[in-house]
Amino acid sequence: MTAYTELEARFRRLGAVEQAIAVLHWDAAAMMPAGGTTARSEQLAILRGIAHQLLAAPEIGDLLAAAEPDAAELGPWQHANLREMRRRWRHAEAVPADLVEALSRARSASEAVWRMARPADDFAMALPGLKRVLELTREVALVKAEALATSPYEALLDQYEPDGSTVLIDRLFDEITGFLPGLLDAALARQGARPASLEPRGPFPIALQRRAALTLMERIGFDFLHGRLDESAHPFCGGTPDDVRLTTRYDENDFTKALMGTLHETGHALYNRGLPAEWRLQPVGDWRGMAVHESQSLFLEMQVCRNRAFADFAAPLLREIFGGAGEVWGADAFYRRQVRVRPGPIRVDADEITYPAHVILRYRLERAMLAGDLAPSDLPGAWSEGLQQLIGVTPRSDREGCLQDIHWYDGAWGYFPTYTLGALIAAQLFAAAQRALPDLTDQIGRGEFGPLFDWLRTHIHGKGSLLSTADLVAEASGKPLGTAAFERHLRRRYLE
């Protein structure tokens, strides 16, 4: 057995453990009774500790060094796999095992309290857990920064977006904040000059909302032999490529919240399912960072499912499922509701124009907290002030403010920029797909999604982590990552 083949065997074992962790984490969020929290926290802490030991073992470093002289003889996928193995090992080797387990326990405990604190609108309840997670996250960031020769924030960012750069993010976000206020004002003025969009009257039973979600998921191409849809406090996509788990949350007064949230997560799910099966349980077969992952969810939700053609396809199905009648259930009314610009405090309910502002706010706040420039106890005030400055909205409560997202309480620091990076990538990819499929709009209107997702599987899903994010985007879209396609998309949809 060569050094490289032994590495593949070791990473296959590691991948299986990590997949078990993923399913247990999904279960804790969607199915587990509250009384199981303590036991599950311990299970996850121990399994994460085992995964860390497998990855950070000294033999891995020795095998990586031994495989290096033969790297030139490897094929492109094997060569990329070795690169990804090395990147993951450097992250793991930098962090002591006891710190990994301590952070895991803190994450599980904090997340469990957040699930009670959010509906109770009680930030004080969640604050101790948030402080503990941040304290341990800082420790992780410092040791990883030293090992990776980068800043603490970029060390955390690299966990979600390999080779991610705050210089690039700051430039892109500055460009967005440069054109966003004027575009928002113009879109609101244009919208205000029209009659108000028609609103269907609820309540909308959850059973019918679920049926609508499942119907559209199936028509778009989700494989229910390898996945399922459930409920959780915060919608997410988890599980494994062969067992994809989606969750959503319902509002009986507005069926579109769960519907569009589910379609967003379906974009994630289709990406997971489309990853190269021949490289399962190997790093090169995994998804290429969260910016690409978010691009797939926003590609489906924003580029496809808020497209005018999609309304022609979806509106008749929804009218039948909900037993609706009249103009309010027509395609025009549905489309106008889907592209309605309505600045609000909730990120997951945000319209397409204001959504980037929510992400930019969180990016700024998490960098400030990680650097010690913002105390967690001061988060509610900083949150309210920042959102008011960006989109003119002030949350009415912490539930609408700093309690709305699970990420920080669950230990996901350095994650938020990937949402808007994903929106930029999605705009570039959709423009490229339109060039490759000239009748794409007509296909969407007919509910024919096969050609589009064949294109995505070829250019994005099936590539796994073969390429860097920059190279993947440039090859698929023909251009390096930028803001031009995103701005052009917004202006065409909302101002023309």
What is the identity of the amino acid at 433? A
Q: Which residues lie below 8 Å from residue 126, measured CB to CB, with a gap of 6+?
A: 110, 113, 114, 117, 118, 403, 409
What is the identity of the amino acid at 300? L
Task: Pick the closest to residue 138 from 383, 419, 374 (CA basis).
Answer: 374
The pair phi, psi for residue 345, each rounded to 5°, is -85, -15
Q: How far is CA 91 from CA 46, 100, 160, in A?
A: 19, 11, 12
Name the residues annotated as catalytic. 265
Where do runs of H (alpha helix) occur along 161-254? 166-192, 206-220
Please return the burial class of 36, using the count of CB atoms within 10 Å of its CB with bins 0-12, 13-18 and 19+: middle
Q: Which residues lie below 8 Å from residue 155, measured CB to CB, with a gap of 6+?
A: 140, 141, 144, 145, 147, 148, 414
Task: Pick the closest to residue 312 from 329, 297, 299 (CA basis).
Answer: 329
Count, in order, helices (H) and strands (E) of the chain.
Answer: 20, 3
Task: Pick the closest to residue 302 from 133, 493, 120 (CA basis).
Answer: 493
